[in-house]
C-alpha cells in the first residue's frame, strides 16, 4: 500500500463479498465489472492502481480476471487477501455452472435443447471472432505485429500445440514491441 494509504483498506470479508458479487453479476467478462466496483463504487483503488493490476494480470497466463483479483487481494492482505478474492470470484459461478453442466448431461440430447444450444454455440463463435476483430481494429498494430498475430492464428487453426506457438512467437512479439516502444 504505497500511495493508497489515504484510501480505506477493505477487510478480507469485504474483499470476498465484493468478488462474490462481481462473479455472479459479471455477464460477458469480469474486468469491466470489477473496475466499476473497486474504482467507481467503493473507491478502494485509484484508476491507475486498477489499471496496473489488470495490466500484470493480462501479461501472465491464465484467467486475466483471476490474476487481477490475486494482485488486488495481495495488495491489501497478502496471501490470505488473494485467497479471499479468488474464492469470492469463483464460488458463485462454480455452483451455477455445476447446475448447468448436470442439466446438460440430463437434457442436452433433447431435440429442443439441442436446437437452442446449437443457436447459442453459433452466436458464441461469431462473438469470439467479432471480439478478435474489434481488438485488432482498436489496436491498429504495426505490420510486424500483424504478421505475428496472423501467424498465431494460422498455427492455432493448424492445431500446432500452444507451447510451440508461444515459444516461436513470444520472443518475436517482444522484440518487435521493444523496438516500437523504445
In the window 39-98, what residues touch other proteins (CB under 8 A)? 52-53, 55-67, 70-71, 73-75, 79, 82, 86, 89-90, 92-94, 96-98
Distance set, CA 136 to CA 90, 119, 129, 152 (Å) = 30, 26, 11, 13
From the list 4-12, 28-36, 39-47, the region that binds other proteins by CB under 8 A is 28-36
Torsion of CA 3, 58, 175, 135, to 10 degrees: -120
Nearer to other proteins, 39 or 83 (CB): 83
Under the binding rule (CB under 8 A), the answer on residue 5 touching other proteins is no
Nearer to other proteins, 39 or 147 (CB): 147
Q: Which of 10, 12, 23, 44 binds other proteins (CB under 8 A)?
A: 23
Task: Check if the beta carbon of residue 23 is closer than 8 Å to that of residue 93.
Answer: yes
Task: Check if the beta carbon of residue 30 is closer than 8 Å to that of residue 89.
Answer: yes
Site string for other proteins, 104-143 (x = CB under 8 A): xx--x---x--xxxxxxxxxxxxxxxxxxxxxxx-x-x--
- Alpha-carbon distance 24 to 14, whole Å? 15
Lookup: cell for 29:
467478462
Amino acid at each position: 500500500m504505497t500511495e493508497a494509504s489515504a484510501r480505506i483498506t477493505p477487510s478480507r470479508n469485504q474483499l470476498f463479498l465484493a468478488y462474490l458479487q462481481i462473479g455472479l453479476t459479471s455477464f460477458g467478462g469480469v474486468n469491466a465489472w470489477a473496475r466499476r466496483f473497486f474504482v467507481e463504487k467503493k473507491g478502494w483503488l485509484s484508476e491507475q492502481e486498477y489499471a496496473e493490476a489488470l495490466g500484470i494480470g493480462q501479461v501472465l497466463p491464465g484467467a486475466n480476471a483471476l490474476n487481477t483479483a490475486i494482485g488486488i487481494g495481495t495488495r491489501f492482505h497478502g496471501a490470505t487477501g488473494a485467497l479471499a478474492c479468488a474464492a469470492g470470484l469463483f464460488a458463485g459461478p462454480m455452483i451455477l455452472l455445476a447446475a448447468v453442466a448436470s442439466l446438460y448431461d440430463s437434457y442436452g440430447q433433447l431435440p429442443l435443447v439441442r436446437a437452442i444450444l446449437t443457436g447459442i454455440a453459433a452466436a458464441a463463435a461469431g462473438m469470439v471472432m467479432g471480439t478478435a476483430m474489434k481488438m485488432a481494429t482498436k489496436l491498429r498494430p504495426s505490420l510486424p505485429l500483424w504478421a505475428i498475430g496472423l501467424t498465431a492464428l494460422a498455427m492455432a487453426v493448424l492445431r500446432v500445440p500452444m507451447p510451440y506457438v508461444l515459444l516461436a512467437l513470444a520472443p518475436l512479439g517482444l522484440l518487435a514491441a521493444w523496438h516500437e516502444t523504445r
